[in-house]
Structure 1
Amino acid sequence: MKKTVILLVALLLVCNLTNAEKKYGISSPDGRLTAEITVGKQLSWSLAHDGEQLMGPSPVSITLDGGEQLGPDARVRQTRRKRIDQTVPSPFWISSQVRDHCNELQLSFWGDWGITFRLYDDGLAYRFHTTRKGSLTVVSEEARFRFMEDSPAWVPYVKEGLGGDQFQTSFENEYVHVPISQINRQRLAFLPLLADAADGWRILITEADLESYPGMYLTPDGDSPNTLRGVFPRVPAAVEQGGHNMLQMFVSKREEYIAKTTGTRSFPWRVCVVTDNDASLAASDMVYRLAAPSRLEDTSWIRPGKVAWEWWNDWNISGVDFKSGVNNDTYKYYIDFASENGIEYVILDEGWAVNLKADLMQVVPEIDIPELVAYARERGVGIILWAGYHAFDRDMEEVCRHYAEMGVKGFKVDFMDRDDQQLVDFIYRAAETAARYRLMLDFHGMYKPTGLSRTWPNVLNFEGVHGLEQVKFDWSQGIDMVTYDVTVPFIRMAAGPMDYTQGAMRNAARDCFSLIYSEPMSQGTRCRQLALYVVFNSPLNMLCDSPSEYMREPESLEFIASIPTVWDETRPLNGKVGEHVTVARRSGSDWYIGGITGWDGRETTVDLSFLPDGEYEMTLFRDGANAHRKGSDYKREMRDVKSGDTLKLYLAPGGGFAVKLRKK
């Protein structure tokens, strides 16, 4: 009898020890950021800086088919820690190399799964991994982000959703600044999302290395105050052709799971970028660090650059003896303009392929692509073709082979407007197929970047931006691009490049803007448009206005046409979300500085102490004395400066400035 009691007590003690909560700590390389991972009834993490709590215990889990849960009541089988400090080449990025420096904790659990945490000086990331044979069906994922108080957040809601499905969206919207408790629970928010944390700290939530898995959205957690939870689109069960010119695939029915995937894999990183300096977000490279390494050995054929673009200006040229439009004469005019000004590419946007056919092999009779490619090649210009998503997908291999052999340099693929697993798989197939034929890609109508440009460097740009095209459309509630411009660098741009398409030569002060589709204008000043070529990260960068307009503005054209699109070094100089931002970038020994402000005019001082010693020839574009009334008013000044000098500038309402510094 005594032996039985002792045995039962021993068994109870073992069970209690097995189920007892265990805590594991990890810190950033500088020791200031710390995370605590709790394994017990729930698997959760929390985050602190110098002992001050930034995020409370935030549960995470994955539910598989059959009801198995990875997370609750987990039993640790092994722990591994390592320090990572490596330099990652980044030839088409905001710097020529990225330092990947963090501490990593990997917990492996019984049941052939685990979770990895990384802590950087500027944030936290975690991801699940499984080591199982065969395939896995993921029914749902739990990702919660628990703030310490009812923090204000900058929220990009999805639009209404195609067919009432919020997971079918263009990922283009302005930001609403509200406390977490006031976030609309009927509308999902897409990533990245920025929120305040304790005592002046901000946390940017996004994801990285999104492959063969759906994108994450956020919504308030009804069961936990001050908490956001992840929401994921389920896998399409049936799709139907439709949408813009029959170029999209609408989901008409969804499965009961979010992903069907291989049993041995790493899942996407959930990312929290942490900062007490807004400007640092404008140069964040955390997503790039976390992305899978390049799958291309040879990237010498990938050539970023600027693109003369016709859609925004509605093919609206003047002073010629032919009718402009989708025809060879018009595109030869664009090619000549590009060649004369050192612009690397001309794009043929929508209209060159027969409408409503979703067939990129059917070209309208007014266009002769081989002739245009040959004409452009003789003048040192490359041709890029626009393609609707469904048209590109339905015969991807043949389309890429056919046009690559012709000499086309790449595609701008548009109207995906989803990020479920099926669509994410398309993105990776497109990147791989295009790379085999040495074709570059610009993904328009696209979710935010998650590091794909590191994994497949031939993918140079992404939309997922409420860009300048929005000024061409009638918005019943109005549009405020100026405020958006000083918000998006700290949020969406922190995830990666942006196909915003700046460069307007018709510039409207606050009360002078009007919507004109064929002769569109920008909000804010001319110098703001010039500054955006420095402030925004865009390796394949559009010149949105007409060649006719640029040729009437030779000083502005010279600045835009000569500016690099990828950089050796980036330094954010100052900034505050929703108010202003100034960024400096280096290419070789030349530096460029761009600054923009909101509708409040401001004085700013730029300290040139970051420059290496020596004298520099400076070209400065600043707002003119009457830029607050006439947005195109500007002054260009040229003088010599040296490291340690300061520039005192006034930015008009909606204004900006742009600087080029060439070392003497």
Structure 2
Amino acid sequence: MKRQVLLVMLFSALGSIVFGQKAVVQSPDQKIVVSLFNKQNNDNGEWVLKASYNNNGKITEAIPRIDIGLLRSDQDFSKELRFVKAGKPTLINEAYTALHGKRAVCKNEANEVVVAFENQTKAKLNLIIRAYNDGITFRYEFPDKQGSFVVKEELTAYTIPSATTRWMEKWNTANEGLYTAMDKNKILPGEWGYPALFNTDNKDCWFLLHEADVNRNYCGTKLSNAADGEIYKLTFPNPKDGRGLGESNPSITLPWKSPWRVIIMGTLADVVASTLVNDVSTPSVIKDTSWIKPGIASWNYWSSNHGTKDYKTVCEFADLAAAMNWPYTLLDWEWDAMGNGGNLEDAVKYITSKGIKPLIWYNSGGPHTYVTATPRDRMLTHENRVEEFTKLKKLGFAGVKVDFFESEKQEMIKYYLDILEDAAAFQMMVYFHGCIVPRGWERTYPNLMTHEAVRGAEWYNNTPDFTMPAPEHNATLPFTRNVVGPMDYTPVTFTNSQYPHVTSYAHELALSVLFESGIQHMADRPEGYYELPDVPKTFLKNVPNAWDDTKLLDGYPGKEVIMARRKGNDWYIGGINAEQREKTKTIKFDFLPEGVRYKLTLIADGKHDKDFATQYMVVDRSASVDVKLLRRGGFAASLVPMY
């Protein structure tokens, strides 16, 4: 530990005499370096960061320039910043437990340096820089003790060389677009949502841009390269978002810290396994978390858009959850108009009589959304929420799904967090839909089980245009959207909704492992599960949805992915092929512990898309197995130790 800190101090001392370099922060494993430079090569002026990655001795300048600075309503903190000092390096070393996600025991371990600046009026700005083994984070701080201002512009901007390959989603308020793969021959300008994935020209380094710990003191941001194709600048929400309500520019009161700017970095496996977004976020504010229970839910909307309006349909999905050993069922929109044999109270009695806990949908309401679906406005104010949560708790509901936020302005960030706080007071879990991409709130409020913020299986209801892109999209999400937090894609469908899918049955089964969500909503109609062969049906009865460990075994965005996840001593593997050709992939089990033999149940593509082929065998860490995947196919597997 002392050696790591000494190394950072050495780099900092050397940096001050090299090309205007004023500070260097190195990750504990020495693979990642972030350096601070002055553009005018002196102690005053404009400042930039540079991010580098060491891959087995080969240094890659991953991001050659990150512009920094803020424009506040009263003055400028960008052009004439005077370097005051770089503080002594500090080792951040913290462990914490996550109730759901890709890993149960997480580490927040980094080297941190705080750099102090002053502008021309002697007003103070600090830049807090951390280097992690899996990335870089930095944030701004106004340390003065008083004052209220508006942030007019954040000047953070990432210069990405044109030869860098990238996967990005066009910005939309619901974060439900497809990812566009771009290389040096195709770099589109525009506004882009988080997270954004990049691979350097030499293929040695992958990195993912995001932000974390967004709180009531700021707004969400996005990336824009509209002015220059190689420069992705952080921009505030569009004034028109949320029907034009709320201010786009955040208001702040000193002392103040910005959200973390996050660059997850390393190999592709490092990116997929990273918990960095949660690591830097505020620790849990909920003391008693015993009531927060991850699990799988049945969901009737995908197969019947008006399913919750029908009492008998609601009961069928409660029966499905009971038969499949899933703890939850979700009552979606129109529950307030339920008929055909019963109302909401009748439905809750039936659901709970089966040993299942109900979840329930709400329109976020208010003038920020055009959607008139009821019930509206019951989540909108603290008084509304207290009244509603009191009723729900008495009836026996375990959580709420809140929909249609349509903005990431500061006012809406406050709304999200107010819902989470009030829900926690009533021991209610929360699922956000039509919403923001995760920003690390799952650590602060572990009752936040999942977000939609993805083009998921619901889009088979919306348009025929999802059918053919879906396999490539499915093989992109584990490297992008699902890296940064839970993702409710509403997966694992074998029958069809309004529009068909072309993925194989084994591809769909694999999504139960590949896609992580604190509450995983299985979207198919009951017969879609009841009519499965016994082995895949048993797999879906037993597959967890909160994990102790996650490892990428193989893959490339948009082409294929094979991922292993552990729960207790058992491992589960999911793999999909997104391409229009058959493949044979070799699964190596070298991630297993030494000296333990496992019973492998492998459920792969059969002779055609709707057919399964099941194998059983005994393996250990020295074993490997070849698996044939159909075009747009897949496989799922379980590994249970033999003691």
Please tell me the TM-score bracket, short chain as reference: 0.7 to 0.9
1:53-93 CA distance string (max 9 Å, x none): 22223211111112332574234256232012222211212
Q: Does 1:431 align with 2:420?
A: yes
- CA shift at 1:22, angstroms? 5.8
Q: Does 2:570 correspond to 1:590?
A: yes
When residues 366 and 42 of structure 1 are mapped into structure 2, their CA distance, relative to the original with a 3 A threshold, is farther
Is the partner of 1:393 in helix, strand or coil? coil
Correspondence for 2:35: 36
Correspondence for 1:171 among 175, 187, 205: 175
Change in Cα spacing, 1:325 to 1:410, as seen in structure 2 (3 Å) is: closer
Specify the alignment match of 1:151 in structure 2: 164
Aligned residues: 592
Alignment of 1:414-429 (within 5 A): 414-429=403-418
**Which moves more between the two structures, 52-61 or 199-208?**
52-61
SS in 2 for 1:387: strand
Report matched runs for 1:111-126 at 5 Å: 111-126=123-138
Q: Which residue of 2 aligns with 1:638?
A: 616
Q: TM-score, normalised by structure 2?
A: 0.87
CA contact (8 A) 2:406 2:434 kept: yes
Partner in structure 2 of residue 614 of structure 1:
596
CA distance in 2, matches of 1:309, 1:571: 29
- Decide which of 433, 454, 463 is 2:452's aligned counterpart: 463
Distance 1:78 1:482 in 2: 48
- Structure 2 CA distance for aligned equivalents of residues 639 and 280 of structure 1: 30
Equivalent position of 2:585 in the other structure = 604
List per-residue Cα deviations over 1:573-611 (Å, max 9, x = no partner): 111112111111111111111111112321111111222
Structure 2 counterpart of 1:189 = 192
Match in the other structure for 1:273: 264
The residue type paired with residue 92 of structure 2 is I
The whole-number CA distance in structure 2 between the counterparts of 1:325 and 1:532 is 25
> How many Å separate the matches in 2 of 1:253 and 1:422?
9
Q: Structure 1 residues 506 and 329 mapped into 2: Cα distance closer, same or farther (>3 Å)?
A: closer
Task: Provide the rounded CA distance (Å) in 1 between the counterparts of 2:316 and 2:495.
Answer: 21
Q: 1:448 aligns with which of 425, 437, 451?
A: 437
2:125 is aligned with 1:138: no
User: Which consecutive residues of structure 1, in runs of 5 or more, have no partner in the other structure?
Assistant: 1-16, 160-168, 237-248, 317-323, 355-362, 508-515
The 5 Å alignment of 1:394-413 reads 394=381, 395-413=384-402
Distance 1:479 1:640 in 2: 37
1:12-61 per-position Cα deviation (integer Å, ceiling 9, x unaligned):
xxxxx9xx956111111122321111253112111122444222232111
1:292 paired to 2:282: yes
What is the identity, as a one-letter code, of the residue corresponding to 1:637? Q
Rounded to whole Å, the distance in 1 between the matches of 2:465 and 2:539 is 35
Assess if the C-alpha contact under 8 Å between 1:150 and 1:226 holds in 2.
no
2:206 to 202, 206, 210: 202
Asked if the contact 1:326/1:366 (under 8 Å) is kept, the reply is: no
Distance in 2 of aligned mates of 1:551 and 1:372: 22
In the TM superposition, 1:89-100 aligns within 5 A as 89-100=97-108
Using the TM superposition, give the Cα deviation of residue 150 of structure 1 relative to its aligned residue in structure 2, in angstroms. 4.0
Q: What SS class does the counterpart of residue 507 from structure 2 fall into?
A: helix
Sort the Cα spacing of 1:476 and 1:490 in 2 relative to 1 into closer, same or farther, 3 A.
closer
Q: Letter of the aligned partner of 2:108 in structure 1?
A: D
What do residues 588-635 of structure 1 show as CA deviations (whole Å, max 9, x unaligned)? 11111111111232111111122232232222111012x2xxx21111
1:329 maps to amino acid: K
Structure 2 counterpart of 1:246: none
Q: Is the 8 A contact 2:246 2:409 kept in 1?
A: no
Q: What is the CA-CA distance between 1:366 and the residue it aligns to?
A: 6.3
> 1:282 and 1:196 mapped to 2: Cα distance?
13
The amino acid of 1:570's aligned partner reads T
Q: Would the aligned equivalents of 1:471 and 1:479 in 2 still touch at CA under 8 Å?
A: no
Whole-angstrom distance in 2 between the partners of 1:370 and 1:125? 48
**Deviation string, structure 1 residues 419-448 (Cα, Å, up to 9, x no partner):** 111111111111111110000011111121
Question: Structure 1 residue 26 and structure 2 residue 15: aligned?
Answer: no
**Deviation (angstroms), 1:407:** 1.2
- Superposition RMSD in Å: 2.4
Aligned to 1:331: 314
Tell me the residue number matched to 1:473.
462
Q: Could you tell me which residue of structure 2 aligns to residue 86 of structure 1? A: 94
* Partner residue of 1:345 out of 314, 325, 328: 328
Deviation (angstroms), 1:254: 5.9
Give the aligned partner of residue 472 of structure 2. Answer: 483
Structure 2 regions of 5+ residues with no counterpart? 1-15, 39-43, 366-375
Letter in 2 for 1:425: K
Q: Percent identity?
A: 25
The one-letter amino acid of 2:380's match is D
Of 502, 513, 518, the residue aligned with 1:534 is 513
C-alpha change, 1:325 and 1:465, in structure 2 (3 Å) is closer
**1:180/1:199 Cα in 2 relative to 1: closer, same or farther (>3 Å)?**
closer
Tell me, yes or no, if the aligned pair for 2:511 and 2:574 is still in contact at 8 Å: yes
Q: Does 1:377 align with 2:352?
A: yes
Structure 1 residues 180, 446: closer, same or farther in 2, change over 3 A? farther
2:6 is matched with which residue? none
Tell me the SS of whatever aligns to 1:482.
Answer: helix
Alignment map for 1:517-596 (pairs within 5 Å): 517=498, 521-555=500-534, 556-596=536-576
How far 1:182 sits from its partner (Å)? Answer: 4.6
Q: Give the distance between the partners of 1:114 and 1:367, measured in 2 at CA.
A: 60
**Bigger mean CA offset, 263-272 vs 476-485:** 476-485
Q: What is the CA distance between 1:477 and its match in structure 2?
A: 8.5
Q: Relative to structure 1, is the Cα distance of residues 58 and 72 closer, same or farther in structure 2, using a 3 angstrom cutoff?
A: farther
Aligned to 2:225: 220
Report the Cα offset of residue 181 of structure 1: 8.2
Q: State the alpha-carbon separation in 1 of the partners of residues 91 and 234 from structure 2.
A: 29
> Any conservation in 2 of the 1:615–1:663 contact (CA below 8 Å)?
yes
Q: Which amino acid aligns with 1:594?
A: G
One of 216, 222, 243 as aligned partner of 1:251: 243
AA in 2 matched with 1:61:
G
Which stretch shows the higher mean deviation, 142-151 or 343-352?
142-151
Q: Secondary structure at the match of 1:156?
A: strand
Report the AA paired with residue 334 of structure 1: F
Read off the aligned partner of 1:598 and give its amino acid letter. A
Alpha-carbon offset, residue 554 of structure 1: 4.5
- Provide the secondary structure at the position in 1 that maps to 2:255: strand
Partner AA of 2:244 in structure 1: S
Structure 1 residues 293 and 522: alpha-carbon distance in aligned structure 2, compared to 1, 3 A threshold: same
Please tell me whether the aligned partners of residues 505 and 612 of structure 2 are also in contact (alpha carbons under 8 angstroms): yes
1:262 aligns with 2:274: no
Work out whether residues 34 and 48 of structure 1, in 8 Å CA contact, stay in contact via their aligned partners in 2: yes
